[in-house]
Structure 1
Amino acid sequence: MSTSEQRAAGGGTGLTTGRPGERGVWRTLGLRWVHLLQGGAQLMPFYLLTVVLLGIVRPEAAQGFGSQPRVQFLTFALSLPLVAVGGLLPLVRALESASARTLCGVPAHEPTAGPAGSWAARRRSAAWFTLHVSLGGLVSGASLAVPPMAVVLLVCPLVPGLRAQRWVWPWEHAGSALWAAPPAGAALLALLLAAVYGAGALLTRCAPVLLGPTPADRLAAAERRAADLAVRNRLARELHDSVGHALSAVTLQAGAARRVLQADPGFVREALAAIEETSRGAVAELDAVLGILREGGTAKHAEAVGPTLATGLESLLARTRATGTEVQVRIDEALGPPAALDERVSAEAFRVVQEGLSNTLRHAPGAAVRVLLEHRREETGGRGGRRGREGDGGRAGDGDREASRGGERTLRVTIENATDGTRPASRRSGGRGLAWMAERAALLGGTVAAGEEDGVWRLTVRLPLTASRTKAAR
């Protein structure tokens, strides 16, 4: 039958397209019914245990267990506290979440898949388990009793043997009143379906609340996401600084070698060797970062990536000088040897120097660079904040040079190079180097200042040397 014929057979009423939706409703009702019957099955161990305990405490009540509905409902009610205690087990949440996702149609992301890890989560799981088991017990009992009763009522007018029985219902067993039995049977089935639908809808609505993450779970998940994001941002900064500097250096080294290829073969050999060393170092750092990303590294692993002033400064300066750039470096004696610095501070200071040299190679090729590593003590109190802040353009006054015994010990990194004054705007609005450098300094409680003054581009970064500040910033 063609599509047009199907539409004609449906009379244009959309019955054909409505059948899948109808089947979906009945399938959902059937799955939720199975879910409720599962709850009734889970009730049985607690129910039987309550029967045994009730028989020990009240033997006369246990004798009427099979014939008195009142005793059965009492036993059902007394078994629910045992159900709640059983729901405190951590594994209950995982099992009930899987059942709710499969049978109740609850979205997979709403219940929590893992076991309950806190008492708040356990209490919620116990509440859900009690609700599921209690509704399941009632629906299971009704599912056992109502269908046979409804069938008897539906066929009673047609079966002489059933009409001869004395059934307990509020109408006569003979005459026209007997034909009221089939509608009553159909009504019982409709009530059972309505009860199953209502109980299933209630469980579906309560599942995300009782089986979902607690506020503590959400907070822990947010902290894990924030930690992962911090690790990724740090690795991105490492890639930017290492690979970006390597590309800038290699580009200038190759260009310088090409210009003097015939005139100065010795310089060409040095440039090629520097290119090889720079590329090898960049590939090693890239492999380290990619290895951490593949293995899902933590913040501790991310901090281990990259060189420090003690391990990488000399090779960095050599690679930069191989481009033909003049680099002057002065390290304050009061700072001590770079190997004695805190490893985190030393690593961040190395990246600052690397980014400063990369900026010079990109934006002022051929300009001489001056690098200063100084030890300072700076006052942090008062309205003015730190003395010698970003507005000083990297120049320290006499008061800043006088060390205050109560001030904060800092490492001050200053990088200067002459500019031609033609492209200051592009430099300020360039890539992410300065922004990520500011993030690096902020993680340690430091500051970054950059700007052009009197034809000199100056980058000034202050990093606290105090161990407590460094550890707190991690």
Structure 2
Amino acid sequence: MTALLRPLVGRQARLRWVHLVLGGALAMPYVLVGTVVVGSVAGSEDARVFTSLTLQLASFVVGLPLAVVTSLFPLTRPLEGAAARWLCGVPAERLAEGPARGRAAKARTALWFALHLTFGAVVAGMSLALPPFAAVLIVLPFVPAWRDSRLGLPEILDHAWAPALAPVAGVAALLALAACAAGAGALLARWAPALLGPAPDERLAAAETRAADLALRNRLACELHDSVGHALSAVTLQASAARRVLGSDPEFVREALAAIEETTRRTVGELDTVLGVLRDGDASGTAPAPTLAADLDGLLRRTRAAGQPVAATVDAPLEDVPPVLSREAYRIVQEGLTNALRHAAAGVTVTVHVDLRDGCLEIVVDNPLVAPAPTRDGGGHGLDGIRARSRLLGGTARAGPVDGVWRLRVLLPVPPSPRPPAPDKEPS
């Protein structure tokens, strides 16, 4: 029995009934305006405008176009969408956010508002009339005086068998009310995504926003992987090397600790930058991102302090590289050195070559091939990040064994610098 009555009187059905009653309440001002119009047309001597069902329906028909016009206000769709979400149980992702824009979206909102008010007015009217009538029918056999006074009840109740069936009719009336409310609420819940859902252009805009958010998250993940991953690898090697010579080479230990301090301080600044973007969507007021021109020497120095020999040659005017390209190139070199720190044999020299030729910035990082190091769970994203950065800048990235070394080679196109306008020639 409970399973049979749940669709009629369950929590969801009760919330949808509240939604419909709110629609009936919203319809009342428009019905009153329609009553004034219908009363003036019918004549002031016709007082039945407030009691006649026909005239009340005519008043609703007259007031409904006014409701459609007022549904064009910007707040209508957000408010109706919130009501459909919380009371009708429509998932939030299937409803549009913000006011309706465009003729089609406004027309769908107006149609929804008209349906909400129409169904709401019917169910609200039934909710006001049927429960008292049903209550009278249910108790009628137990109160003979009510049968004698009539109370405006239908003449069919004058039959001898009518009082015995009156309670059944009363219960049936309540069930009919519950069924009408549940059915109307289910219809509105089914139509809500089509009428209050996003238009195709709104879906496209939402998809673009989600894609931009995902791209930003991926970018921040790459930043964290490159900066924090390199710092942890360097600090681990520096601490390990310092521990091995702690009693025999205090000067090396002192340099290693200074390098660890510098590396961690710089990494904290970069981490603050990334967290600032995650927290506020703005990196203003945080440490600037490192660039190839300003920070390559420090990167090489910290890598050497970790005990990894690095031979670097730079055949390019790094200060002429555009800032965005310089930042990405720094991260690429950093990740290349991080891989060398993890996989190159101790004491083996890693070579870094940066050159500018044929309109491209070339980055090459070589380290001799050794036995493959054990991989760690969740690792292996560094080369993917390098390839993603290269594709974003229109370049290419290749990594693999070449002539006995593991080579990372990246080519990034450098946009030409804008030429200053030629000076005007004086007329001869």
Alignment TM-score, normalising by the size of structure 2: 0.80
Aligned residue in 2 for 1:72: 56
Structure 1 residues 358 and 44: CA distance shift in structure 2, 3 A: same
Aligned residue in 2 for 1:395: none
Structure 1 residues 189 and 259: CA distance shift in structure 2, 3 A: closer
Q: Is the 8 A contact 1:93 1:125 kept in 2?
A: yes
Aligned residue in 1 for 2:367: 417
Given residue 37 of structure 1, which amino acid in structure 2 is its aligned partner?
V
Q: What is the aligned counterpart of 1:211 among 184, 190, 196?
A: 196
Q: Is the 8 A contact 1:61 1:71 kept in 2?
A: no
Between the aligned partners of 1:297 and 1:435, the Cα distance in structure 2 is 25
Q: What is the aligned counterpart of 2:256 among 245, 262, 271?
A: 271
CA-atom RMSD, angstroms?
3.9
Q: Return 5+ residue gaps in structure 1 as ranges.
A: 1-14, 378-408, 469-474
Shift, 1:135, TM fit: 0.7
Between the aligned partners of 1:148 and 1:112, the Cα distance in structure 2 is 38
Q: Is the 8 A contact 1:371 1:416 kept in 2?
A: yes
Q: What is the aligned counterpart of 1:245 among 222, 225, 230?
A: 230
Between the aligned partners of 1:111 and 1:20, the Cα distance in structure 2 is 29
Worse overlay, 431-440 or 155-164: 155-164
Between the aligned partners of 1:235 and 1:172, the Cα distance in structure 2 is 78
Aligned residue in 2 for 1:43: 27
For each residue in 1:181-224, what CA deviation from the matched residue of structure 2 results, as whole angstroms up to 9, or x when unmatched? 66555544443333222212222323344334444444333333
Given residue 63 of structure 2, which amino acid in structure 1 is its aligned partner?
S
Q: What is the aligned counterpart of 1:431 among 373, 380, 401?
A: 380
SS at the partner of 1:118? coil
For each residue in 1:143-168, what CA deviation from the matched residue of structure 2 results, as whole angstroms up to 9, or x when unmatched? 33444555566638964675576979
Aligned residue in 2 for 1:344: 324
Given residue 418 of structure 1, which amino acid in structure 2 is its aligned partner?
P
Aligned residue in 1 for 2:312: 329
Q: Is the 8 A contact 1:448 1:462 kept in 2?
A: yes
Aligned residue in 1 for 2:112: 128
SS at the partner of 2:348? coil
Q: What is the aligned counterpart of 2:302 among 314, 319, 325?
A: 319
How many matched pairs? 411
Shift, 1:437, TM fit: 0.8
Q: Is the 8 A contact 1:371 1:415 kept in 2?
A: yes
Alignment partner of 1:282 is 2:267: yes
Structure 1 residues 464 and 153: CA distance shift in structure 2, 3 A: same
Worse overlay, 93-102 or 270-279: 93-102
Alignment partner of 1:374 is 2:355: yes
Q: Return 5+ residue gaps in structure 2 as ranges.
A: 418-428
What pairs up with 1:121-270 in 2 under 5 angstroms?
Answer: 121-150=105-134, 155=140, 159=144, 162-163=147-148, 173=158, 187-261=172-246, 264-270=249-255
Between the aligned partners of 1:453 and 1:238, the Cα distance in structure 2 is 28
Shift, 1:175, TM fit: 5.4
Q: Is the 8 A contact 1:450 1:457 kept in 2?
A: yes
Structure 1 residues 173 and 260: CA distance shift in structure 2, 3 A: closer
Given residue 269 of structure 2, which amino acid in structure 1 is its aligned partner?
A
For each residue in 1:301-344, what CA deviation from the matched residue of structure 2 results, as whole angstroms up to 9, or x when unmatched? 7x986301122111111112334444333333xx43x2332211
Between the aligned partners of 1:306 and 1:366, the Cα distance in structure 2 is 31
Shift, 1:345, TM fit: 0.7
Between the aligned partners of 1:26 and 1:235, the Cα distance in structure 2 is 47
Shift, 1:441, TM fit: 0.9
Shift, 1:414, TM fit: 1.3
Given residue 411 of structure 1, which amino acid in structure 2 is its aligned partner?
L
SS at the partner of 1:280? helix
Worse overlay, 207-216 or 228-237: 207-216
Shift, 1:349, TM fit: 0.5
State the identity as a percent. Answer: 48
Given residue 404 of structure 2, which amino acid in structure 1 is its aligned partner?
G
Aligned residue in 2 for 1:99: 83
Given residue 414 of structure 1, which amino acid in structure 2 is its aligned partner?
V
Structure 1 residues 163 and 187: CA distance shift in structure 2, 3 A: farther
For each residue in 1:339-381, what CA deviation from the matched residue of structure 2 results, as whole angstroms up to 9, or x when unmatched? 332211101111111111222222223222322222233xxxx
Between the aligned partners of 1:348 and 1:450, the Cα distance in structure 2 is 17
Q: Is the 8 A contact 1:342 1:467 kept in 2?
A: no
Shift, 1:464, TM fit: 2.0
Between the aligned partners of 2:4 and 2:134, the Cα distance in structure 1 is 29
Between the aligned partners of 1:167 and 1:247, the Cα distance in structure 2 is 88
Aligned residue in 2 for 1:353: 333
SS at the partner of 1:370? strand
Q: What is the aligned counterpart of 2:395 among 420, 423, 446?
A: 446
Structure 1 residues 348 and 161: CA distance shift in structure 2, 3 A: closer
Q: Is the 8 A contact 1:51 1:62 kept in 2?
A: no
Structure 1 residues 68 and 253: CA distance shift in structure 2, 3 A: closer
